[in-house]
Amino acid sequence: MIIRRATLIILLAAVVASAQVSVDRVTKSASEPGNWLTYSGNYNGNRYSTLTQITPDNVKNLDLQWVLQVQQRGNSDKWEASPLVVDGVLYTVRPPNDVVAVDAVTGRLFWSYNHNPAQAARVCCGRVNRGLAILGNTLFMGTIDGRLLAINARTGALLWNVPVGAPEAGYSVTVAPLVVKDKVVVGPAGGEYGIRGFIAAYSPTDGKELWRFNTVPSPGDPGSETWKGDAWKTGGGPIWTTGSYDPDLNLMYWGIGNPGPDWNGDGRPGDNLYTDSVVALDPDTGKLKWHYQFTPHDEFDFDATQTPVLADIAWQGSPRKVMLWANRNGMWYVLDRATGQFLSGKPFTRVNWLDGFEPNGRPKKVLEPTAEGTLVYPNNQGATNWYPPSYSPRTGLFYIPSWTDTSSLYRKNPGNPPAYTEGGQFTGIFPTVTFGSDSVPALAAAATNNRFSAGTAGAVQAFDPKTGERKWTFPMNDVTDAGVLTTSTNVLFSGGREGYFYALDARDGKLLWKTQLGGQIANGPITYMVNGRQYVTVAGGNAMFVFALKQ
Amino acid sequence: MTGEYRIYQVITKANVTARGTLLNQDTFSVQMRDNNDKLMSFWKQDLKEYGFLPSPMPSYRSVLTPQEIADVVSYLVSLRSN
C-alpha cells in the first residue's frame, strides 16, 4: 500500500512537473514536435510537424486508439477546437465551452471544467470554440458569452474570469488565445452584430487588460479617415482566428473580419480600415507597425480571419521573410512580413470581384451589391475560411483547404443601409448562395448529397509560393471546413464535410489512407508523440478521434 | 430538376449495371435505391461509370420558343396553392 501510494505520488509529481509551460517553451514550440503548445503547433502558423514516425509508406497502418465524445445532450454545434498537448496530457474544448484534460495515450479524463455561457450570448454561426492557450500551469479560454477564463491546468479549477465584451451587444470570444511573452491575446467575434472589434492583451496572472488595439480606429486616429460619421461605432472588425508571431521581428500578426453591416456599405463609405486586413502589432504595446487590406470597403463578407502563415523562402532569388495568406475572398497572397509589402496576389478559385491590383497591392474592385442582385465569385462562405491551411518547409508548398467555383447573389437597397439595434443582427440582405442550379448548405453538415455535379466542390490545393504555380489538387465531392496538417515525412492530413479523415502524399496529392468518422470535420488535425509513439488526432461530428500506427 | 427525379446509373468494373435514384454520394462512394427499391452502395473505385442518365422526357427546346416555355412555367407556377 505504501509502495502504491509512493508510486502514485511520483506519477502525479511527474504530471505536475511536466505541465509547466514557460514563455521560452512556447516561443520555441517548433522545437518540441512531441507536444502541441499553441493553436497552430508553433508561432509560424504553418501547422507543420517534424515528427517522422508516420510516413507515406506506413500511414495505411493507422489504427484508432481512442475517442472523446461531447457530453452535452443535444449539442449539435461543430467541434472546431484544435487541442493542445503538453507532456502526455491533451487539453481541448468540447463545444461550446467545456474544457477537458485527458491522458493523451488512453483518452481517459483527468478533469473537466464546464462553463455555462450566459443566456445573453449570441453568435452568428454556431456555439463554437477554436481552442486554448497555455502558459505556466494555466490554460486560457474565450467563451461565447464574451469572457476570457483562466483555468488551472493541473486541477481544472477556475482561476479568474474577466469580460472581454458585452454578450448582449453581440460580443463573443470563439478564437483560441495566443500567448506571446507574458501576455494573453484575444479579440471578440460579433461581426454580424455591429460590434466594434479589437485585439487586446491580458495579464496571465489576473486577467487585467494591458493594451488594446481597436480594429476600427477612433476619430482622429490613423485609419479613421476611412470611415464617415458614426459608422466606426458599429464598424465590425471582429477577431475569430488565432494570429501568428515572429519572435525575431517581434511582430504579431492578426487577421481581421468584416465591416458592419456585412452586405450594405452605403452607411460606411470609405475603405473601412482595418476590416478585412492583416495587422502587424508590437506585442509589448499593441502599437500598429503595418497593415494590408485584402478587401477594401467590403460588401461581400470576406473576413480576413485566416491563419497568417509565416515562411522563409527564396523570393525572386533572395531569402525573404514572407507571410502566406489564403483569403476568404478567393485570392492567396505573399506579403513581406517585416514591412507588409505586397509581393503577390493570385486566385485559387474562380474570382470575379476584382480585376488585378494597383502597384501597391490595392485590389481593383469591379463589383458591388445591387438592387437586382450581383453574382459574385466566390460565394458568401468564401473560397476558404477560418479552417487552417498548412505550409511545409520540406516540400515548399502552401496547402489551402478550399471551396471551388462557388458564387452568391448579393442584393442591397442602395442608399438604405440597415439600422443598428444593440444585440440585433446588423447585416443587410442575406446573400443567396447560388452554385449553378445547385445549392450547398452553407454551414450545416449535409446528411446526404444527391446534387448534380456542377463543378462546385471542396478541395485541398497545393501551391508553390515562389512561382505561384498550382502543383496539385485533391478534389472532394462536398465542400470542406477541415484544416490541413503536414509533416516532415511528406504526409498531409485533412478531411471534409463528408466525414472522411484522410492522408495524402504532400508532394503530389495522392490518396494514401482514409477512414470515415461519421460526422463532418471542422477543425485542423494535430499530431504529437508520447512514449515514443506518434499520434494524430482530429474531431469529426461530436467526437474527437485519435490514431496511431498499429503495434 | 432535383436529383430524386433523375435516373442514376452505375456500371461496375464487372459490368453489372444498376439504375435508380441517387440517395447520397461523396468523394469515394455512391448510395442509391434501384428500381426495385433495393438499397445499394458502391465504392467509386469499383465502378467503371457512374452518373445521371439523360431525362426520358423529350426536350421542348426546339418545339417551343423561350417565351412559350416561360409562359408554360408561369402557368404551372400559378397552379401552386397559397
- Looking at CA atoms only, how far is residue A207 from chain B in angstroms? 46
Chain B residue numbers touching A482 (CB-CB < 8 A): none
Instruction: Say if residues A535 and A514 touch (Cβ distance below 8 Å).
Output: no
* pLDDT value for B79: 84
Tell me the pTM.
Answer: 0.91
A-proximal residues of B, 1-40, CB under 8 Å: 2-4, 21-28, 31
Instruction: Say if residues A392 and A486 touch (Cβ distance below 8 Å).
Output: yes
Q: Per-residue pLDDT averaged across A122-148, rounded?
A: 95
* pLDDT value for A18: 52
Chain A residue numbers touching B25 (CB-CB < 8 A): 449-450, 477
Chain A residue numbers touching B28 (CB-CB < 8 A): 500, 514
Is pLDDT of A440 > 60?
Answer: no
Q: What is the dihedral of CA A354, A355, A358, A361, to 10 degrees?
A: 50
Task: Give me the interface pTM, i.e. the ipTM.
Answer: 0.73
> Distance of CA A403 to CAs A406, A440, A477, Å?
7, 11, 10
Is pLDDT of A72 > 60?
Answer: yes
Is pLDDT of A12 > 90?
Answer: no
**A488's grid cell:** 516532415
Chain B residue numbers touching A476 (CB-CB < 8 A): 26-27
Find the CB nearest B24 among A450, A452, A475.
A450
Q: What span, in angstroms and rounded, lies between the C-alpha atoms of A15 and A87?
A: 8
Query: What average pLDDT is seen over chain A?
Result: 92
DSSP bridge pairs for A322 = A311, A336
B-proximal residues of A, 503-532, CB under 8 Å: 514
Q: In this complex, is the C-beta atom of A475 within 8 Å of any C-beta atom belonging to chain B? A: yes
Q: What span, in angstroms and rounded, lies between the C-alpha atoms of A127 and A96?
A: 5
> Distance of CA A547 to CAs A59, A161, A218, A423, A517, Å?
10, 34, 49, 42, 12
Question: What is the DSSP code string of A55-92?
Answer: -TTTGGGEEEEEEEE--STT------PBPEEETTEEEE
Q: Over pLDDT 70: what percentage of chain A?
A: 91
Q: What span, in angstroms and rounded, lies between the C-alpha atoms of A212 and A133?
A: 19
Q: Per-residue pLDDT averaged across A165-188, rounded?
A: 98
Judge if the upstream peptide bond of residue A388 is cis by omega within 30 degrees of 0: no
Coil, helix or strand for A19? coil
**Contact state of A448 with B24 under an 8 Å Cβ cutoff:** yes
* pLDDT value for A20: 87
* pLDDT value for A157: 96
- Looking at CA atoms only, how far is residue B41 from chain A in angstroms? 13
Sequence-ordered list of residues with C-beta below 8 angstroms from that of A278, at least 6 positions apart, any chain: A253, A254, A255, A256, A291, A292, A294, A304, A308, A323, A325, A335, A340
State the DSSP H helix or E strand holding residue A312, giving kind and residue range, or none if neither: strand A309-315
A511 → chain B, closest CA residue: B28
**Contact state of A449 with B4 under an 8 Å Cβ cutoff:** no
Q: Per-residue pLDDT averaged across A337-341, rounded?
A: 98
* pLDDT value for B35: 86
Q: Which of A73-82, A280-289, A422-431, B60-69 has the highest mean pLDDT?
A: A280-289
**Contact state of A452 with B3 under an 8 Å Cβ cutoff:** yes
A206 is catalytic: no
Q: Which residue has the higher pLDDT, A438 or A355?
A: A355
Instruction: Say if residues A254 and A281 touch (Cβ distance below 8 Å).
Output: yes
Model confidence pLDDT, tens digit, residues A193-214: 999 999 999 999 999 999 999 9
**Contact state of B25 with A477 under an 8 Å Cβ cutoff:** yes
Find the CB nearest B27 among A448, A451, A477.
A477
CB-side neighbour CA atoms (13 Å) of A530 = 21
For residue A230, the one-letter residue type is D
Question: What is the DSSP code string of A126-174?
Answer: -S---B-EEEBTEEEEE-TTSEEEEEETTT--EEEEEESS-GGGT-B--
Q: In this complex, is the C-beta atom of A478 within 8 Å of any C-beta atom belonging to chain B? A: yes
| Pairing between β-strand A48-49 and β-strand A485-487 as defined by DSSP bridges | parallel
Catalytic residue among A301, A303, A478, A481: A301
Q: Which residue has the higher pLDDT, B18 or A9?
A: B18
